[in-house]
């Protein structure tokens, strides 16, 4: 398998894992499925709508920061695979 395609697949896998773990984390904090999923999407993509529910505990704030870092890292990794694919022809 080409390294660029492998990079894309690894990035997509990490992105999917990030979304799954983040949704489960918010659900463990007492949120329902749709609120959790919506929060993950607006957090990772930086839409700027604010929180779905108030994030009052330090643990949930740290968790949200980790979701942001993991989400942006995986999206960047996927984009780097696409760029590598384009530059290699």
Q: Model-level pTM?
A: 0.85
pLDDT at residue 89 above 90?
no
**What's the CA gap between 8 and 51, in Å, rounded?**
30
Determine the Cα–Cα distance for residues 7 and 47; give it in Å rounded to an integer. Answer: 26
Does the CA dihedral 17-22-25-27 come out positive or negative?
negative
Summarize pLDDT for 30-78 with one digit per residue, the tens: 999 999 999 999 998 887 677 888 888 999 999 999 999 999 999 999 9
pLDDT of residue 1: 60
> In whole angstroms, what is the distance from residue 21 CA to residue 79 CA?
22
Q: Taking residues 76-84, report their average pLDDT.
A: 92
């Amino acid at each position: 398998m080409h390294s660029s395609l492998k990079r894309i697949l690894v990035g997509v896998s990490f992105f999917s894992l990030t979304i799954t773990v983040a949704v489960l984390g918010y659900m463990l904090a007492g949120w329902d499925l749709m609120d959790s999923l919506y929060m993950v999407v607006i957090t990772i993509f930086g839409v700027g709508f604010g929180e779905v529910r108030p994030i009052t505990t330090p643990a949930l704030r740290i968790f949200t920061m980790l979701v942001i870092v993991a989400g942006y890292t995986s999206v960047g990794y996927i984009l780097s695979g696409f760029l590598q694919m384009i530059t290699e022809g």
